[in-house]
Structure 1
Amino acid sequence: MGLGVSLSLGTGLAAVGFTGFLAFSALLPTAQPAWGEPIGPDATQVLSAESVSSTETTTATIEDPLGQNPLYANGELGEVTCRPPQMDADDPKSVETFVHSIADCLDAAWGAYFEEAGIPFSSPNRVYWYAAGNSPCGPFPKEGTAAFYCQANQGLYLGVEDIVAASAGSDEAEAYTFLLSHEYGHHVQGQSMILAEFRSLRANADEETADELTRRNELQANCLGGVFVGSAEESLGYGKSERANILNSVGLRSDHAGTSTHGSVENGRLWTAHGLDRLDPAACNTWEAREELVR
């Protein structure tokens, strides 16, 4: 990390090292962040030895990562017990404690699911920042970027104060829960080899096809985020109003003003609700969905 960077390092239930997540872009008005695409392993910058503890490399032999992934054959995620502390959006330490708690729940839930599915799994690294620094995927923060997922070191990078500012100071805990769950969905994609296959296909695609592949990728992360939140909502105490807030947040972070990489408001909400209701990653196979469902 650069000099002067303040990092808060934390480990989840199964985490090795620290974590970081959520990539936001500045494509939307009123400072609302868009879902960020995970940054690939082709970045040139490298974190110093002091910045990153050992990251386990997951290897899995999956013949058809998009169409017949073992992730889709394991049934529902199962009930998740998650009881994070109350969050005060005006208190950065409270926000940090809250997101660590949600990350612990995500680690436990998805770690157990991958084990049952017979797919190797390692929890993402957490990197929570309060000041500028560097990652293998580039410097942070950038304009309009509150956090991001870096596949190069399986890192979930999160600006503790930046995510609150990017959400206009919202004190709705469910919005932050879903933001984390969506970005963690990209880690789920990475661990199940979906990201690798997606990037391979996109590398050889024309612009229109590349955008469609990116939308399928982002909409799947919406759905996987919904699977987690739906599985945990009883313990979280979420009801109709919290679901409405989540879907409203998704709408704000869908494609607007000529962008074409995150899906329409309708489709963003559709796939999120699908995950919330079905609770099964098999319901999130956007890669084989009809084209009109991923516009």
Structure 2
Amino acid sequence: MRSLLSGARVRRPARRPASPALRTALATTCLALAVLPSGVAQAAPFRSPLLKTGRLAATSCPEPPIVDGGVPRTREYLTAAVRCLNGSWSAHFAQAGLRFRRPAVRFYEEPAERVCGVPWPTGAAAFYCTERGTLVFPLTGAWIENRTDLYPLKVAAHEYGHHLQSLTGIRDDYETRARSDRTRRAELGRRYELQADCLAGVFLGSVRHSLSRTGQDWRELSEAIRASGDEGEYRTHGTGADRVRWFERGRRALSPAACDTWTATPSLVS
């Protein structure tokens, strides 16, 4: 069975039984491992062409106001963000000789009972429907409502990272290996999510100089990412420290090649 949803969370989840949607996702988040001569278990490397491409070109992506005159402009903000993501990554794929397809985008004023054929995932800020290649953005909620920081742009770029994983064979490889071994599903699910964090960092780094943001804005983003980590029993996206680490790694390197979470030691994907 394939995972249908990959989502970003706003805050640390409580220690509670996993929802049906989460159990479905976790049931497919495993990957065959290789044990190095040193005895350190690591995931076998993926052969995705995305991890062999160079730096993402610097582009301009000025942010529209997310609130204008006291009126929320979340749809306009996210539409502009996706337009920038499409332009940046489509050009990168073309240069690398990779096939590109834009994701579909769906906006919801508030969470619906069902989306993409499954119940709306509990606690998700935004998410990506893998089977339908669709970015799903609720226009309300703590992840975006009344915010003026960079966190909504980072969340959009993270979900777009899942689209890139689907386009370049990472998801297919991941799910094929998942069916062979369920013993490390939580750890390897985190590898998948942390790679999306890293790809988000690559994008935000490439548009950094057009965002008109200060050093304090970037420090606040790091704190928001840290607060989105999961530290409890059900760790699906990684600790706050690891989420910041992989995001910053991508932002500084500006290259998907820096986002090989699959061969990272387990301590870096905790």
TM over 0.5: yes
Correspondence for 2:166:
190
Matches within 5 A, 1:27-176: 28=12, 66-88=45-67, 91-92=71-72, 94-131=73-110, 132=112, 134-140=114-120, 142-161=121-140, 165-167=141-143, 169-176=145-152
The aligned amino acid for 2:160 is Y
Q: Assess if the C-alpha contact under 8 Å between 1:251 and 1:268 holds in 2.
A: yes
How big is the shift at 1:206? 2.4
The answer to whether the 8 A contact 1:22-1:157 is kept is no
Contact 2:125 2:143 in 1 (8 A): no
Q: Aligned to 1:277, which of 248, 252, 256?
A: 252
C-alpha contact 1:275 1:283 (8 A) present in aligned 2: yes
Q: Secondary structure at the match of 1:23?
A: strand
Q: Which residue of 2 aligns with 1:238?
A: 213
- CA distance in 2 between counterparts of 1:253 and 1:172 reads 17
Change (3 A) 1:276 1:170: farther
1:289 and 2:264 matched: yes
* Alpha carbons of structure 1 residues 230 and 86: separation in structure 2 relative to 1, 3 Å: same
Relative to structure 1, the CA distance from residue 237 to residue 22 in structure 2 (aligned partners, 3 Å threshold; closer, same or farther) is farther
List runs of 5+ in structure 1 lacking aligned partners.
Answer: 1-20, 31-35, 41-64
More strand by share: 2
Q: Which residue of 2 aligns with 1:62?
A: none
Please say if residues 197 and 246 of structure 2, whose CA atoms lie closer than 8 Å, have aligned partners that are also in contact: yes
Unaligned segments of structure 2, at least 5 residues: 15-20, 26-43
Does the alignment pair 1:181 with 2:157? yes
Contact 1:124 1:187 in 2 (8 A): yes
Q: Is the 8 A contact 1:147 1:158 kept in 2?
A: yes
State the TM-score, normalized to the length of structure 1.
Answer: 0.74
Amino acid at match of 2:161: G
> Does the 8 Å contact 1:22/1:158 carry over to 2?
no
CA distance in 2, matches of 1:279, 1:81: 15
Secondary structure, counterpart of 2:131 in structure 1: helix
Separation (CA, whole Å) in 1 of partners of 2:116 and 2:145: 29
User: How far apart, CA to CA, are the structure 2 residues paired with 1:102 and 1:190?
Assistant: 20
Q: Percent identity at matched positions?
A: 28
Once residues 24 and 74 of structure 1 are traced to their aligned partners in structure 2, the CA distance between those partners, rounded to angstroms, is 25
CA distance in 2 between counterparts of 1:235 and 1:26 reads 25
Tell me by how many angstroms 1:24 deviates: 4.1
1:15 match: none
Pair 1:263-2:238 in alignment: yes
How far apart in 2 are the matches of 1:271 and 1:201? Answer: 23
For residue 152 of structure 1, what is the amino acid of its counterpart? Answer: E
Task: Return closer, same or farther for 1:168/1:281 CA change in 2, 3 Å cut-off.
Answer: closer
Deviation at 1:280, TM superposition (A): 0.6
Asked if the contact 2:55/2:255 (under 8 Å) is kept, the reply is yes
What is the CA–CA distance in structure 2 between the aligned matches of 1:71 and 1:22, rounded to whole Å?
Answer: 19
Give the drift of 1:177.
Answer: 0.5
1:226 alignment partner in structure 2:
201
Q: d(CA) in 2 for partners of 1:111 and 1:73?
A: 16
Confirm or deny that 1:254 pairs with 2:253.
no
**TM-score of the aligned structures, taking structure 2 as reference length:** 0.80
CA contact (8 A) 1:133 1:139 kept: yes
Is the 1:77–1:280 contact (alpha carbons within 8 Å) kept by the matching residues of 2?
yes
